[in-house]
Amino acid sequence: MHDRDAGRCVRCNSTNGLTIHHRVNRGMGSSREEWINQPHNLLLACTTCNSWFEDHPRESYSHGWKVRRPLLPGEMPVTYPGGVEYVLRPDGSRSRLHSAADYQAFLEHPPS
């Protein structure tokens, strides 16, 4: 995850005060889903942006920094600095969405 996100916050591109952010909340007492701590559910975020995600849920959900259940993290692209969108995979890799056609193909055949 650190390599995938280039050691930078996924929202502001900072290299300072980085934390691990769960896109789908773990919930009270953690979660039993095996994917909850897999790379496609985790982002690097600075402490400022990690708090911002909680304070600005609408924007956070629309950019994929947070994911609402019942969606799975691999079913929602993430916006990185500069507006570039990626699909995150459980193996820690990511695939860039270059066009509206890429996004449509992603929606029709999301990764498993």
- Write the pLDDT tens digit of every residue in 65-84: 999 988 999 999 999 999 99
Kindly indicate the confidence band of residue 28, based on its pLDDT and cuts at 50, 70 and 90. low
Task: Find where tokens 């975020």 sit.
Answer: 45
Residue 25 CB contacts under 8 Å (≥ 6 apart), including other chains:
66
Q: Is 34 exposed, middle or buried (0-12, 13-18, 19+ CB in 10 A)?
A: exposed
Residue 46 has pLDDT above 70, yes or no: yes
Q: What is the number of other CB atoms lying within 10 angstroms of the CB of residue 67?
A: 21
Residue 52 has pLDDT above 60, yes or no: yes
C-alpha–C-alpha distance, residues 47 and 51, integer Å = 6
Instruction: Note the pLDDT of residue 31.
Output: 64
More confident site: 31 or 93? 93
